[in-house]
Amino acid sequence: MANPIVIKPDAKLDLVLERVVDVPRELVWAAWTDPKHIVHWFTPAPWKTVKCEIDLRPGGIFSTLMRSPEGQDHPNVGSFLEVIPLQRLVFTDALLPGFRPSGKPFMTGIIELEPKGKGTRYTATVLHADAETRAKHEAMGFRDGWGKALDQLVEYSKKM
């Protein structure tokens, strides 16, 4: 297998969340790659993920349906670009399944997992095309939202 592409985040374009969590890497991986788990933690409460579809391979679908507290549905459809079991997931909304262009790209996400003692070093890097999109994502609550979702993942994973 080829080495993963090394991404050096650009502070003007990208957002990064890095933490060490007290959950084994295998459980974090399972939480990220199985739809039956994603619906329990993926969207920061009081929002909910009510549907998830995953085809865990490059070009495979990564789709979630998020529901706001007011009952509005927000579909997110994209595809995986890279899947390295237990180590790295790269997904984007710029491409639909089968690498078809989506026409309205917002971000590319990279989830990297590294064993750290009995836990996991968790790094989420989100790439944006321009500073305006990055600022919009940050204003939407990236740090709080992705941080809260990670807290929910940890809490849920301890019950798996």
Is 51 contained in some domain?
yes
Structure tokens at 32: 């990220």
Is 8 contained in some domain?
no
Show the domain range for 52: 14-157
Q: How many domains does the chain have?
A: 1
Is 5 contained in some domain?
no
pLDDT at 1: 52
What is the per-residue pLDDT across 88-125, written as a single tens digit (0 to 9) for each? 999 999 999 999 999 888 999 999 999 999 999 999 99
Q: Which pLDDT band, with edges at 50, 70 and 90, does 6 fall under?
A: confident
What is the per-residue pLDDT across 45-59, written as a single tens digit (0 to 9) for each? 999 999 999 999 999
Is 74 contained in some domain?
yes
Helix (H), strand (E), coil (C) string for 89-145: EEEECCEEHHHEECCCCCCEEEEEEEEECCEEEEEEEEECCCHHHHHHHHHCCHHHH
